[in-house]
Structure 1
């Protein structure tokens, strides 16, 4: 039995030597960097680059090649007795190449590029918002691991106390002061304690593996999670990425309005067409000829039955929708903040109560320790009081971790 206890003690104390450590902020950073959703930010940027090139191509010459061969059931005939005109062939052939160059389109291209840029920024910010909302999940995992870690240390403290008490009891048995079987009760409690060690470590490993998946980086099971000092300043100002997202959505709507406003602007193009065919431009010349045409074309939708105006009005309604979303978000956030404040106040009251309970339990255990030495009570009675103290200390530990978690969640909610 002694050998088992010694080995267990060496394993416990030795496992804390030379450990790597990690902080809550590092977990946040790794999550933003490695979570699969984060890849979308770069993908949206690449997509925007390609779409921008496509939109910008409208400013470049547009070249088209056409070729056709046809057979007509009838052709042009001249009702004049001209003997030199042979008539037009019913089979005709033509190949042309056309070049169109946009000269002016009222700024539609620039407006399209601005809209595409605004849409990309909105999509990227939405990804940031979704990642930010995972921070509370990281908080829950991190502080749960921290609780397992601190519980393990508390078990070590209890084990040290039991080992010391076992030596005293064995000495008391030797001199006939304490009942012969009293050490067996303590040895049984130490075995029970080893099971609690296994359970705490198993829970910790499971939580670490879950956290590893969330932050996209494998964490060693022996890594030490640092206890963060969360200083919470209670204030009403909200600084969440959702607010930036709402602003980007407004800007996207404004860009859409600008694009719609320019859609009816006049468009001026230069064009040129060259070709070879039979017949050419001279329909009366029944032979293969080269030909070309060039010119300038103006396209302007002068009247559209107010469709453009109504489109802009429809898009503008989205601004009111965004405003209602902002109000809803602010309301929900303030409610969540108030809930966290109430939670922190409640836990702080519990901690004050825990400290009083522990103080009383220590006095009771001190008395029980003296009674055990004098043979007044049994080892079982002593273990009962020791367990009561341990449970009170464990409750205090849980409340302290819960308070840190509530503070961390408050900071996340507030932004």
Structure 2
């Protein structure tokens, strides 16, 4: 009975060890996270401080609109004063009949009053201010979009660099290391049977360790690029679980470019027109209704009441400055010159974009031709590897010749992968340069 329990314990331990082994092998696969280019770009923009600025600009604009709206409300004020007057109104002849009824006006006088002003007509300046505010914040939003474009470029460079190293890693593992491991097993078996020389095995081992070194270098570069990408994505602790997906270009590259800078320049020129219009409005007359009411000693409207009295005044006010020595006109001229400067900047930007687009398109055409040649080279190298392996198995060739052919095939595949990713990255670069993504 004790023996059976001991056997059962041993079996349970084995099952437990097997279960832990399965879990340990499967956990990296479960934890692996695939990230597409579009997902990386979206996450980077959402988590970038620039995205928070848009919400801040929106709140600033709403607050400023509320402040401007208050301009149309009546304006209230409270004032007061007290002072001593060296002279006051009094009869020049104390014996005159009027002296008997003329009050003794005090030298110390004071009054406090409230005033209300309401603009009946001011050239609709409120509407012009709102238009100016909306124009300025529209420019801020567009400038934010321009800054986000630089973020997209950074993400694109890092993503495609990491993806290139990731594919190189796979090609080295599958195309060289696995093949060398299989060949080493065959050669070691032949050496054990006396059918192969130890030098053949050693030569394969040297090439195997060289491939491992190359793999370590590629892995280090891939890890560095993934860590940099994860900083943008705020996933610093997940870099070793991320697998990148090769994207597919779905945007028509023949479409006209629509960069955010173009819209920004247009908004800036429109803003100059809005400012010029508002300057014109400032030259218009202003008509306001007003009311003043207060209490003072003596009554400022009737000096015969010296014991303190209420007073008020209501009416209309008219204000206009017909002459400003041409200042307003000069300010409008400045806005026109600024508009011309902005138009020259837009023209310069368009020329720069057209030049870049031509160069990028030339690179795309070149990479297309290189990829076509890469495919032909791979076909030839595959035939060379098959022949070299057959000769090695038959003892008609050395392992060095086989390894050379195998490395040439791997290099050809790496070139193809590199050119394909360069083409894809260049296509995305063209799409982003045109503002299509």
Partner of 1:93: 110
Q: Give CA deviations for 1:347-392 in whole Å, capped at 9, x if unaligned.
A: 2222233233333333332232223223344434433332232222
**Residue pair 2:290, 2:315 contacting (<8 A) in 1 also:** yes
Partner of 2:425: 405
Q: Give CA deviations for 1:183-221 in whole Å, capped at 9, x if unaligned.
A: 333334434433433332332222122223334555542
Distance 1:217-1:101 versus aligned 2 partners, 3 A rule = farther
**Residue pair 1:69, 1:93 contacting (<8 A) in 2 also:** yes
**Residue pair 2:367, 2:423 contacting (<8 A) in 1 also:** yes
Count of residues in Structure 1 that have an aligned counterpart in Structure 2 = 406
Q: CA deviation at 1:306?
A: 4.2
Partner of 1:135: 152
Structure whose CA Rg is larger: 2
**Residue pair 1:231, 1:407 contacting (<8 A) in 2 also:** no
- Of stretches 225-234 and 139-148 in structure 1, the one that deviates more from structure 2 is 225-234
SS at match of 1:134: helix
Instruction: Tell me, in whole angstroms, the C-alpha distance in 2 between the residues paired with 1:13 and 1:148.
Output: 24
Partner of 2:309: 289
What is the TM-score when the length of structure 1 is the normalising length?
0.89
2:185 matches 1:167? yes
Instruction: Tell me, in whole angstroms, the C-alpha distance in 1 between the residues paired with 2:64 and 2:27.
Output: 59
Q: Give CA deviations for 1:111-151 in whole Å, capped at 9, x if unaligned.
A: 11111111111111111122123322221111101101101
Q: CA deviation at 1:402?
A: 0.8
2:138 matches 1:118? no
Please list every run of 5 or more consecutive structure 1 residues that lacks an aligned counterpart in the other structure.
1-10
RMSD: 2.6
Partner of 1:180: 198
2:296 matches 1:277? yes
1:390 to 402, 406, 410: 410
2:283 matches 1:302? no
Q: CA deviation at 1:340?
A: 0.6
Instruction: Tell me, in whole angstroms, the C-alpha distance in 1 between the residues paired with 2:253 and 2:141.
Output: 30
Instruction: Tell me, in whole angstroms, the C-alpha distance in 1 between the residues paired with 2:68 and 2:308.
Output: 39
**Residue pair 1:104, 1:267 contacting (<8 A) in 2 also:** yes
2:230 to 177, 189, 212: 212
SS at match of 2:303: coil
Instruction: Tell me, in whole angstroms, the C-alpha distance in 2 between the residues paired with 1:330 and 1:78.
Output: 84
What is the TM-score when the length of structure 2 is the normalising length?
0.85
Please list every run of 5 or more consecutive structure 2 residues that lacks an aligned counterpart in the other structure.
1-23
2:264 to 245, 267, 273: 245
**Residue pair 1:30, 1:217 contacting (<8 A) in 2 also:** no
1:202 to 204, 220, 228: 220
